């Protein structure tokens, strides 16, 4: 749309919400005056009806943009369909699940028991998933991040020899086992202290 004057637009070619309006020849000063005043009527129409106030609620373009904003907000809230309380619960569960994963990792380091890592993987995921959807999500993210970072460090240490790939797959299987709610004691090695 071409500009007319300072910050004023020609509304005679395209109206509010993109509707076409007939173009009327009026001089630029009069056009600038009625466009900048915020009314859609031609100067001639205002002269014929001098005491009529502009419609309440602003211009049609302002009303149209407000409607678009309102519809957009309404659709977003319908699509999300989540109340703030559910988000708070999800985040709380995720935090608790993260603590469960950290506790299992700390216990694994403290126990330092041969062939016990699968048990601790399964136990951490099991405890986190029992917290709810937030805990299960946190367990999956942490488990995947740990295995991916381990894959990178193994490549740096051992090159592309495939060292650790089998172990990583076994760890992921234990992670899934625990997240699915199955008993982590399936992976418990014989002789692991009952403290764990």
Reported as a single tens digit per residue, the pLDDT across 45-80 is 555 555 555 555 555 566 677 778 878 776 676 566
The residue-averaged pLDDT of 171-185 equals: 94
- Please choose, from the candidates 172, 196, 41, 178, the residue with its C-alpha nearest in 3D space to the C-alpha of residue 123: 178
pTM: 0.56
Last residue of a domain, one of 17, 52, 80: 80
- 194 vs 66 pLDDT, higher one: 194
Q: 112 and 54 share a domain?
A: no
Q: What does the alpha-carbon distance between residue 48 and residue 35 come to, in Å, rounded to a whole number? A: 17
33 in any annotated domain: yes
Please report the sign of the dihedral spanned by the C-alpha atoms of residue 31, residue 37, residue 42, residue 47.
negative
- Environment class of 93 (CB within 10 Å of its CB; exposed 0-12, middle 13-18, buried 19+): buried
The residue-averaged pLDDT of 133-149 equals: 91
159 in any annotated domain: yes
192 in any annotated domain: no
Q: 154 and 102 share a domain?
A: yes
Structure confidence at residue 9 (pLDDT): 47
Q: 70 and 93 share a domain?
A: no
User: The CATH number of the domain where 106 resides is what?
Assistant: 1.10.132.110
Residue range 4-22, pLDDT digits in tens: 445 444 444 444 555 555 4
Domain count, the chain: 2
Q: 112 and 175 share a domain?
A: yes
Last residue of a domain, one of 49, 64, 80: 80
Strands 3-4 and 8-9: antiparallel
Q: What is the residue range of 17's domain?
A: 3-80
Element (H or E) spanning 63, and its range?
helix 60-80
In sequence order, the β-bridge partners of residue 8 are 4
Q: 23 and 88 share a domain?
A: no
196 in any annotated domain: no
Last residue of a domain, one of 50, 80, 110: 80
Q: 114 and 22 share a domain?
A: no
Residue range 75-131, pLDDT digits in tens: 676 566 556 667 789 889 999 999 999 999 999 999 999 889 999 999 999 999 999
pLDDT at residue 141 above 60? yes
Q: 94 and 146 share a domain?
A: yes
**Distances from the Cα of 122 to the Cαs of 81, 84, 177, in angstroms?**
33, 31, 6
**Distances from the Cα of 14 to the Cαs of 1, 46, 117, 174, in angstroms?**
8, 20, 70, 64
């Amino acid at each position: 749309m071409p500009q007319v004057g300072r910050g004023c637009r020609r509304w005679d070619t395209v109206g509010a919400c993109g509707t076409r309006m007939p173009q009327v020849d009026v001089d630029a000063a009069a056009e600038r005056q009625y466009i900048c005043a915020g009314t859609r009527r031609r100067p001639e129409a205002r002269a014929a009806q001098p005491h009529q106030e502009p419609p309440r609620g602003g211009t049609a373009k302002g009303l149209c943009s407000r409607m678009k904003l309102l519809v957009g907000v309404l659709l977003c809230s319908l699509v999300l369909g989540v109340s703030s309380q559910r988000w708070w619960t999800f985040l709380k569960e995720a935090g608790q699940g993260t603590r469960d994963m950290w506790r299992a990792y700390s216990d694994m380091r403290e126990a330092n028991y041969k062939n016990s890592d699968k048990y601790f993987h399964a136990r951490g995921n099991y405890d986190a998933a029992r917290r709810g959807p937030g805990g299960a999500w946190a367990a999956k993210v942490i488990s995947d991040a740990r295995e991916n970072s381990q894959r990178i460090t193994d490549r740096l240490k051992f090159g592309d020899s495939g060292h650790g790939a089998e172990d990583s797959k076994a760890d992921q299987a234990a992670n899934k086992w625990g997240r699915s709610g199955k008993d982590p004691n399936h992976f418990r090695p014989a002789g692991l202290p009952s403290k764990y």
